[in-house]
Structure 1
Amino acid sequence: MYRHWLLIVVALTATLTLADPASADDRPNFLVFIGDDMTWTDAGCFGNSEVRTPHIDQLAHEGMRLIACFTPAPMCSPTRQALYTGLFPVRNGAHPNHSRIHEGIRTMPHFLTDLGYRVALSGKRHFGPPESFPFELLGPDKDPDFEAIETFVDDENDAPWCLVVCSNQPHTPWNRGNTDQYPPKSLTLPPYMVDTPATRRGLSQYYAEVTEMDGELGRCLAILDESGQRDHTCIVFLSEQGSSFPHCKWTLYDTGIRAAGVVAWPGVVEPGTSSDALISYVDLLPTLIEAAGGTPSDELDGRSFLAVLNGTSKQHRDAVFAVQTTRGIIKGSEAYGIRCVRDGRYKYILNLNAENQFSNTVSESEGIFATWKRKAQQNPTAAKLVEGYLRRPEVEFYDLAADPFELNNLAASPTPEQQVRMQQLRQQLDAWMAQQGDEGAATEMEALERMNPRSARGFRRWRAQQQQSGQDSAD
């Protein structure tokens, strides 16, 4: 009940102050381009020399790379709804996948429309309920409609605009793009992957879709150029959460929740720069509000990082937080909730249902992970990676400076200095969960109540089949 009333207060008090009308014409347009299931490392400007992302790279050349940008969840629906509400997933009600926010919560279209903006979205939606997200919708709920985007941008309306373009790439099934440019045998695998032919084929197909998505970004930039509005537009690129490879999406490792973020804004963001300020997706909405001339409400979880963009500050957050709700996902565990807190060097992960085996569509399908399991029967390195994906201790603690891919859990044997930091991070995590109304394992078990009925029914059928066949490992 407390959380219910808290959200009503948020909905009623998250108000804005309009900009001085004299300066209204100087307010920028906003183009926010969101990828779909792209690991943050997989762009040229973020260190991957093998994948071709010329338009992301050019945008980074024109603006600022956000190299410590994080999603609040490693799944599409919670990530997007946190982005649009400025509230973390449990607090806004959309912590499971295929979920919906609490009634009465205001979202990006509400806030920016109040400031005189036209607010539109083209491409993937994945939010609910629809009436809580009153975007001007350009085309159907699938690929971006570039003809509609061009019409929107070229509209003679004097109002400034915000356009969110949501690609469906490089989300599986990885069946788009030209794989010829990525011969599987020539690719370099990151250390969290098991080297099998299936892994290499999958990486080739995934990279092809990353390049396909980069081309969609290029089309949006071309439309801006042709309209003459490029110099008056703040452009934000976000890669969303990690890819569907094991150790990425559905996990709270950096390969699951760290995002490739780029912001180009002529006259405000210095070209060719980067920032290591800790930023969360929930911070984007208040940043756009402030850039649009409004005053973001203190009731939002997010805080504007406009000072980072304009170079007046190098710091933003002391820590970022994230949640994973496995209950309800396709072929998911009965419950496998995860919470984490990360500062500039260390990460503390709490596995709420560590007694259970982690499962999802990757672990339970005859695909890439199945080849990892077969190799694990003879290869100790593969066996460690497979076991680490399926079963994890209650607490994980990583030194990201020494172990950026989080393969060496220090929780059982920290140094005295690390032990102190572990305790401090746990206290921060506990305090954040309490502030969010997150009751841990109890909140996980309520996940199906927040999902759309069709997805919840599908999950229940899967669990019933598992129990009937006796194949549940430890759930």
Structure 2
Amino acid sequence: MKILIRILLLSWCSLCAALAVNAAEQPNIVILLADDMTWSDCEPYGSPNVKTPNMQALAEQGMRFDGMFTATAMCAPTRQQLYTGLFPIRSGAFPNHSKVRKGVKSIVHHLGELGYEVSLEGKQHFGPKESFPFKSRNLAKTLKNTEGPFCHIVASSDPHKPWSTGDAKVYDPEKIIVPPNLIDTPHTRRQLCKYYAEISHLDKKLGGIMESLAKAKVADNTILIFTSEQGMTLPFGGKWTCYDTGLKTSFIVRWPGVVKPGSSNNALVQYVDVVPTLVTIAGGDPSQIDTGCANADGKRGFDGRSFLPVLKGDTKIFRKFVYGAQTTRGIFNGKDYPIRSARDDNYLYIRNLNHEGVFSNAYVLGGAYYKDFYQPLAAAAETSSKIKKRLKFFQHRPQEELYDVRKDPYSLNNLAGSPELAEVQTRLAKELDSWMRQQKDKGLETEKTAPHRKGRMK
């Protein structure tokens, strides 16, 4: 009887808490998620090439994050960590075209329990369905239902390959500035113009969202987030790597009355921190949530935590380290070439677990990616020793890499093995080991299980 009374009291307390949350003023949440867009390819982050007036306007109205990272530079793992608050190997969604483990919960469950309707339009790339039970509808339909708070995600396919939307004629191949990490050829320049056109097309989509929120008179009570996902698909553009061009993401938040307009911060933050932050904003306690999946210590909470103090401008310090885990298996024609990384404010440490192997996927083994991206560079390498050397590095990387990201943001000068940085390299290597252990990541042994994690919506 005592147990029954205790259960009833707990249930009553939970109900009272829920009612209190629902009675409070909860902001709506709208997220625009790009697809394969390098973080720096927009006006707010200083691009000399891309025209993105709406992204610039959003940054002027809100806060620009300069230290936001995803943990994996490919679509399915990135989206699923953003929606679950869990790093990819722990959740099970670490190869591309993957699914989380049975029982894992997502933003749909966590915000739904706090009274939110959670919907999504556009690209999915997650599974199984029971872990991501989004309502499928567009923003216009969501705005017609304003009885309670809502969270709506617009998951765009821009600027993912093929680059067929937008007007590439707006950009002149001869006048654009090619980032130093890319191989500068006439073909690369033409491809970049197509890619930039898709980003401009995406920017118009953001403008439409901003206009819709204003017309519906909900903009003042809506948190609007734009984020770029991971790096783009040209060789060394970032996708499928653990360099900053792959894992770093643009992240801009507008929250009228709370976030200072035109502000920015350098705090290290990861995608796994987004859901705990939104839960906190919605009135919940992320520390009390069971994510449906335990880490190596048996804990079932989020891998992330709330960065609400950063949003409020109370601090510009959050994480000491951010992490990366790239699995080549799962990419079309992908072979074993797993990569792990740990990064602090100053240095990026990368470990190539199968450095004696050869990085190989659809880039170099034929098909559309090979024809559009790699084959023209391979042809140019026949008459250029510089390009030949760069392409060799693309497929053959050392066991360890270390970069001073303040001085070398494009990771062009590998400092691993430098005596003067031995302490830094050792410290980051130990930090990576600790994170891998906590995530149940056994390196090459874990990579062998990647094929079992593939299979969306099953």
Q: TM-score, normalised by structure 1?
A: 0.87
Is this contact kept in 2: 1:16–1:295, CA < 8 A?
A: no
Q: Which residue in 1 is equivalent to 2:5?
A: none
Alignment pair present for 1:93 and 2:82: no
Match of 1:136 in 2: 135
**1:262-317: CA deviation from partner (whole Å, max 9, x where unpaired):** 00100110000111000000000000000001110271101110000001111110
| Equivalent residue runs for 1:305-344 within 5 Å | 305-333=307-335, 335-344=336-345
Q: 1:167 to 1:18 in 2, by over 3 A?
A: farther
CA distance in 2, matches of 1:214, 1:385: 32
Query: Matched residues in 1 for 2:81 and 2:258: separation?
Result: 26
Match in the other structure for 1:259: 249
Confirm or deny that 1:242 pairs with 2:231. Answer: yes
- Structure 1 residue 410 and structure 2 residue 399: aligned? no
Q: What TM-score do you get using the length of structure 2 for normalisation?
A: 0.91
- Write the letter of the residue equivalent to 1:118: E
Equivalent of residue 427 in structure 1, options 421, 430, 435: 430
More divergent stretch after superposition (46-55 vs 378-387): 378-387
Question: CA 1:232–1:16 in structure 2 vs 1: closer, same or farther (change >3 Å)?
Answer: same
> What amino acid sits opposite 1:432 in the alignment?
W
Counterpart for residue 80 of structure 1: 79
Counterpart selection for 1:446 from 440, 444, 449: 449
Find out whether 1:108 has 2:111 as its counterpart: no
1: CA distance, partners of 2:180 / 2:15 = 47
Classify the secondary structure of the residue corresponding to 1:218: helix
Q: CA deviation at 1:23?
A: 7.2
Name the CA distance, whole Å, in 1 between partners of 2:99 and 2:141.
Answer: 30
Looking at structure 1, the residues matched to 405 and 16 of structure 2 have their Cα atoms a distance apart, in angstroms, of 40
| 2:87–2:272 Cα contact (<8 Å) kept | yes
**What is the aligned counterpart of 1:182 among 161, 168, 171?**
171
1:178 to 1:453, Cα distance in 2 relative to 1, 3 A: closer
Distance change in 2, residues 1:373/1:18 (3 Å)? farther
Q: Is 1:122–1:166's contact at 8 Å kept on the other side of the alignment?
A: yes
Whole-angstrom CA distance in 2 between matches of 1:391 and 1:51: 32
| Alignment partner of 2:398 out of 393, 397, 403 | 393
Deviation at 1:384, TM superposition (A): 2.6
**Structure 1 residue 94: deviation in Å?**
0.4
Q: Is the 2:128–2:457 Cα contact (8 Å) retained in structure 1?
A: no
1:14-70 deviation per Cα after TM superposition (whole angstroms, max 9, x unaligned): x99946727734110001110000000100110103201111111000001001100
Letter of the aligned partner of 1:276 in structure 2?
N
Structure 2 CA distance for aligned equivalents of residues 208 and 388 of structure 1: 29
1:194: how far off? 1.4
Cα distance, 1:331–1:309 mapped onto 2, change above 3 Å: same
CA deviations over 1:444-471 (Å, ceiling 9, x no partner): 011000001899xxxxxxxxxxxxxxxx
Question: Residue 286 in 1 paired to residue 285 in 2?
Answer: no
Q: Kindly report the root-mean-square deviation, in angstroms, between the aligned alpha carbons of the 2 structures.
A: 1.8
Residues 282, 302 of structure 1: 8 Å contact kept: yes
Task: Report whether the alignment pairs 1:384 with 2:389.
Answer: yes
What's the CA shift string for 1:67-98, capped at 9, x where partnerless? 11001100000000001110000000000001
- Give the % identical residues: 44
Contact 1:326 1:336 in 2 (8 A): yes
The equivalent residue for 2:258 is: 268
Given that 1:43 and 1:51 are in contact with CA atoms closer than 8 Å, whether structure 2 keeps it comes out as: yes
1:210-235 CA distance string (max 9 Å, x none): 00111111111111011000010011
What is the distance in 2 between the residues matched to 1:121 and 1:278? Answer: 27
2:201 to 173, 191, 212: 212
Instruction: Measure the CA separation in 2 of the matches of 1:51 and 1:438.
Output: 38
CA shift for structure 1 position 355: 1.2
Cα distance in 2 for partners of 1:398, 1:290 equals: 35
Task: Please give the secondary structure, in 2, of the residue aligned with 1:368.
Answer: helix
Describe the shift of the 1:251–1:447 C-alpha distance in structure 2 as closer, same or farther (beyond 3 A).
Answer: same
Q: Which runs of 5 or more structure 1 residues have no equivalent in the other structure?
A: 1-14, 139-147, 456-475
Any unmatched runs of 5+ in structure 2?
Answer: 1-13, 289-300
- Measured in 2, the distance between the counterparts of 1:184 and 1:150 equals 37
Identify the residue that residue 296 of structure 1 maps to in structure 2: 286
How many residue pairs get aligned? The number is 428
In 2, the alpha carbon distance for the partners of 1:438 and 1:340 equals 12
Secondary structure of 2:249's counterpart equals strand
Displacement of 1:107: 0.6
Cα gap change, 1:440 to 1:63, in 2 (>3 Å): same
Which stretch of structure 1 is more off in the superposition, 362-371 or 121-130? 362-371
- Is 1:353 matched with 2:342? no
Which residue of structure 2 lines up, in the alignment, with residue 127 of structure 1? Answer: 126
Q: 1:122 to 1:206 in 2, by over 3 A?
A: same
**Equivalent position of 2:54 in the other structure:** 55
CA contact under 8 A between 2:339 and 2:352: conserved in structure 1?
yes
2:156 to 127, 149, 167: 167
